[in-house]
Amino acid sequence: MKLWGGRFRKEENKLMEDFNSSLHVDQRLYKEDIRGSIAHVNMLMQSGLLTQQEGEKIVEGLLSVLNDIEEKTLPLEGNYEDIHSFVEVNLTKHIGSTAKKLHTARSRNDQVAVDIRLYAKNKAFEVIERIENLKQTLQAKAKENNVIMPGYTHLQRAQVITFQHHLLAYDQMLKRDKKRIESAIEIMDESPIGCGALAGTTHAINREMTAKELGFSKPVDNFLDGVSDRDYLLELMSGFSILMMHLSRLSEELILWSSQEFKFIQIDDAYSTGSSIMPQKKNPDAAELIRGKTGRVYGSLTSLLTTMKGLPLAYNKDMQEDKEPFFDALDTVLSCLTIMSKMIATMKVNHENMEKAVKKGFLNATEVADYLVSKGVAFRDAHSIVGSIVIYCEDHQKAIEELTLEELRQISSVIDEDIYTFIDYQNILNKGIKVNLLR
């Protein structure tokens, strides 16, 4: 079952065989491996390196191996070194010795490179689709809930905003996350097939043809580079890490907002869990898991960066360790995007509590200063005057808008009746977020 037994005098040690085998991980590349092989065979036929009859027989055989894998009559298991050996050995079982010609002008080094690029490119489009879906969910939720809420800095109430504006901040982050994935796709869109082990081949092959058939924009420009870099996976995983960082921050907010202390939202029962001892508990596990899994995605990125950092050109077996972290990061990102969308779509927003919270904590203090500026006071002086107003309010347990004009005038004589409309929360929003955003 080995692709390379010829120069060995001794059997491979069983422990070594198990240690070396990657089938349990790279089996998910079976479709890409077969697709790459079919493109290679079509090119070999066109270039006269295989006869029409041989080529057609191999393609037919590859398609029947694919069919057997998909029908589950050929389980992806057994004593194989990797998915490439699995496909080739089973092809031989199907069509006999013609299968031995498949690997003409090819190495497993360019084979695995093309498999992983095809797979990653395809999956990256799936990630983009799910980001788009989450963006739409956020936009819809934001539109339904254009209500006032406290905005925070340092987790202290700061200024009035809307829940819509807050959610749409994440929509913007996701827009950039999408761009990062799109750019990673562009970077990986070159075909390494035909690079051979590292130095190409003396056979007159047609790399343009295989690149085109496999949907790449062009063949790579350098053979060593084509087989020995995995920067496109790192690029994707960097994008995944930043995306997860954003999802994690959103998760953190959902966790805070659903606490008794905030009570701004209610996460749907379907995306919450309970406690085995405390009957009253409803825990935001989905959000906590997304926050937790973020670390795992960072870990995958760090793992591959570290694997790659000391490798001389060209291929080294260390690079087989690219797949586990990449697949794990990919699966994690896909599931987190889906759960986040569902959680956002089904959560209830408590308008009343947000409005109540806005009224406590002097969220219009900055606008009182702006009001004084409009009356000719310098901003620094205005800032200090409002500081005194806040102390007065704290001492008398009142909000700024609850002070009488006399009380206000005792602190600053420029204040007039029109202050009350100026510092009304809805008016602040109308002038600030709405007008300046649309300008």
**Residues near ligand ARG (CB under 6 A):** 22, 26, 82, 108-109, 112, 315, 317, 319-320
Question: Which is it for strands 218-219 and 265-266: parallel, antiparallel or unpaired?
Answer: unpaired
Give the three-state DSSP class for 385. Answer: helix
Instruction: Closer to ligand ARG by CB, 201 or 258: give it.
Output: 201
Which lies closer to ligand ARG via its Cβ, residue 82 or residue 370?
82
Contacts of 73 (CB under 8 A, 6+ apart): none
CA distances to 5, 7, 255, 409 from 11, in Å: 9, 11, 57, 96
CB nearer to ligand ARG: pick between 114 and 167:
114
Place of tokens 């066109």: 46
Report in angstroms how near the CB of residue 107 gets to ligand ARG at its nearest: 7
> Residue written as tokens 């006269």?
48
Residue type, 129: E
To ligand ARG, the closest distance from the beta carbon of 317 in angstroms equals: 6
Question: What are the distances in angstroms from CA 161 to CA 152, 168, 285?
Answer: 9, 12, 28
Residue in 146, 154, 25, 159 with CA at minimum distance from that of residue 81 = 25
Among 287, 298, 293, smallest CA distance to 254 is for 287
Residue closer to ligand ARG (CB basis): 264 or 315? 315
Least distance to ligand ARG from the beta carbon of 315, Å? Answer: 6
Residue 307: CB minimum distance to ligand ARG, A: 11
SS3 349: strand
- The residue (of 11 and 416) whose beta carbon lies closer to ligand ARG is 11
First-residue to last-residue Cα distance in the chain: 69
Q: How far is the CB of 224 from ligand ARG (least distance, A)?
A: 14
**At 49, which amino acid appears?**
L
Q: Which of 217, 259, 275, 374 is catalytic?
A: 275
Q: Can you tell me the distance from the alpha carbon of 113 to that of 93, in angstroms, rounded to the nearest whole number? A: 25
Shortest gap between Cβ of 36 and ligand ARG (angstroms)? 12
Q: Which is nearer to ligand ARG, 114 or 148 (CB)?
A: 114
Active site residue 383: no
Residue 327 CB, nearest approach to ligand ARG (Å): 12
Question: In terms of CB distance, is 103 or 157 closer to ligand ARG?
Answer: 103
> Of 417, 349, 387, 344, which is closest to residue 135 (Cα–Cα)?
344
Q: Which two tokens stand for residue 143?
A: 């539109």
Q: Which is nearer to ligand ARG, 105 or 131 (CB)?
A: 105
In the block, which residue shows the tokens 């760090």? 302
Do the beta carbons of residue 361 and residue 157 sit within 8 Å? yes
Q: Spell out the residues 6+ positions from residue 305 whose beta carbon is closer than 8 angstroms to its own.
A: 234
User: In whole angstroms, how close is the CB of 319 to ligand ARG at the nearest point?
Assistant: 5
Cα gap 96→75, rounded to integer Å? 20
Kindly write down the DSSP assignment for every residue of 156-222, as one continuous string. EEEEEEEHHHHHHHHHHHHHHHHHHHHHHHHHT-EE-TT-TTTT--SS---HHHHHHHTT-SEE-S-
Q: Is residue 165 among the annotated active site residues?
A: no
Catalytic residues: 154, 275
